[in-house]
A and B are shown apart, each in its own frame.
Chain A
């Protein structure tokens, strides 16, 4: 890839752990590439598979799911999240989307080194992979929504 390629990376960071963890990196005045943006979320468990695939389809190159790990303040949520990411990864694999584009990790409120390692690794990886194949992602996105609706006997949405 051209050396000036800057992948669009989003970090879905938990309010309780990873978001303050990302703040801690700034407070320590340590740097990471500016093409990485952190979005705050109570817990990434809220996102269905189609959310990730839609983001890829719109042009996000990589997503880091920065959870609280086993420190998750919500009961049973981390396990649900990791199972969902597993299913997402399987779906991506089957549809020919590089599975390295999504990464589940745990970042604590003071995990400065872990945060830097994760974002730099993702950045390096995506710089070698290049931009996401948006058409494949779009097909996977439509399929995942159709599958969810089909599980309760609903037809795929046409809109």
Chain B
């Protein structure tokens, strides 16, 4: 995190700019002539240093920048590398290490929007890199040191969803002494796991796992639990969210009393979204679902097996002796082969838990009823994870019979003969495409996970959704549980299909992140807010109707030449930095700091006036890498 720093440097009247071009280990330099870029950019006024490094984001790369700032008295820095979403923050921190205000830094994207999108045109990509760098240098002529905005915050988090992810996040947060409000739509805590008996990896039932966590939650004075409750409205920002909650059912007062849920206002600093998943619901007739009574989904089977008496599994009056498990139902679907979902897209992702669940349940069933014949129909077996491969080995040893189909030729489920209610017909690729018919008493569809239809919550929280309809993180590796909304984090299967182990890890990660954000009694906000130059403001008031955020623009009376005039000013806590007020100002008194109109105009000028690379580049040109 960037800390609020006292203004370290006084801005030198003359810009002394350092430009750093990253090769990204070839990702950039295989296409763009990075040496030529560094050499050419020196022709732009103000550039004092221009260097190339194989991995600018590495410690040596960052150290080089920090040292140059001191040694060469640089007062502005540009790095040309990957997308700013990856490393802008990295280099802001590096620049601060060198004693420079982190906002005297500009990030240029020459990978995603350079080498990777112009690989067929190395020369064009090189020219574009120079242009973008020149734009950045020009923009920096107008840069000024900015301070992070600090506002008091609530050391309290809202956790939405009382399943295993939400429970775990709540317990972890409370342990860090962060207050928690845990909101669950259903009348009781527990979520999906309540309905699941005996789960991998340790055969513990879902209920036992939930009971343990619920016990911890209920005995914790840091955690307030609101069941039968949903989120009604959300406003505010990191550190200062105002939440309204109310009863889950749309019904009247009777429901409210029944559930105990009330309308309530909450003030929290961060929000963890742990709303979980839905099971894939097969379409009518998909793998015989609904067409044949002896076709059930995996959650139904887990229930059935757990409830089976010592005498065996019975379903619809039929004693079960031959069970089939169908993998990838609702997962890894292929366009043109599978029926698309309501939004026109197929579920092309892997649901991750089904393979291991199938084998775990198959083994469990075989252990209880050794006479069972178990058949497994898969495209691939993906028992990734610690010791999960054992389930595959043990299932083979226990006599589970495996069949393998191709994704574009899924097995057919038909009515059975000879007293068998259903049969599966497939081309089995373990026997080189032999057509096989397997009569069954019961077919279990290993249904995958799908994103919940959470439209209202999505609208309230303004969260991004991925192509797979799950909530999307900022970056899968660099910021895996954060959303693009500052202070809103993801836990568990609301984000993607996950095993219980993965869900717990994700919940703990989200809780840690939230605890870090709320570690102090104040939070640092992005500094990119509107700002009014009181000397230029004439009090015309044109900006006020443009602002949609109540309280962000404030009318302020000031004395000017003996008269009281009403000028505009900005409340940075409530301003979202959208910039709607900026273009209507006739005197350019209002601007977004860090994104001023003069900076954008300078970028255009820089882009247009960029020097062209000299032709041809002398191969022994060694001037790059050294101070200009």
> Contact residues of A with B, CB < 8 Å?
6, 8, 10, 16, 20, 22-23, 25-27, 29-35, 37-43, 45-49, 51, 54-55, 58-60, 73-77, 80, 84, 109-110, 148-149, 151-152, 154
Contacts and interface: CB of A to CB of B under 8 A. Distances in A.
A149 B586 contact: yes
B154 interface: no
Contacts of A59: 608
Interface in B560-591: 576-580, 582-584, 586-587
Given A23-B83, A110-B467, A152-B540, A10 B116 contact: no
Contact of A34 (B121, B472, B580, B584): B121
Given A37-B135, A46-B582, A77-B578, 12 more contacts: A6-B124, A23-B83, A25-B112, A29-B117, A29-B119, A38-B109, A40-B84, A46-B583, A60-B608, A77-B548, A154-B538, A154-B587
A154 B586 contact: yes
Interface string B113-153: 11011111100110110011001000000000000000000
A34 B128 contact: yes
22 contacts: A10-B604, A20-B85, A22-B112, A23-B109, A23-B112, A25-B117, A34-B127, A37-B128, A39-B603, A45-B579, A46-B600, A48-B582, A51-B597, A58-B605, A58-B608, A77-B548, A77-B578, A148-B584, A149-B586, A151-B542, A152-B586, A154-B586
Contacts of A16: 484
A73 B462 contact: yes
A54 B600 CA distance: 11
Contact of A77 (B113, B132, B580, B597): B580
Interface string B593-606: 00101001101110
Interface residues of B, number: 54
Given A43-B578, A48-B597, A151 B586 contact: yes
A87 B58 CA distance: 48
Contacts of A27: 112, 116
B577 A42 contact: yes
B177 to A, nearest CB: 32
Nearest to A148: B586
B578 A42 contact: yes
B36 interface: no
B582 A76 contact: no
Question: Which residue, of A26, A47, A54, A149, has the highest number of chain B Cβ atoms within 10 A?
Answer: A26
A48 B132 CA distance: 23
B464 A38 contact: no
A84 B583 contact: yes
A46 B118 CA distance: 29
Nearest to B88: A40
B113 A23 contact: yes
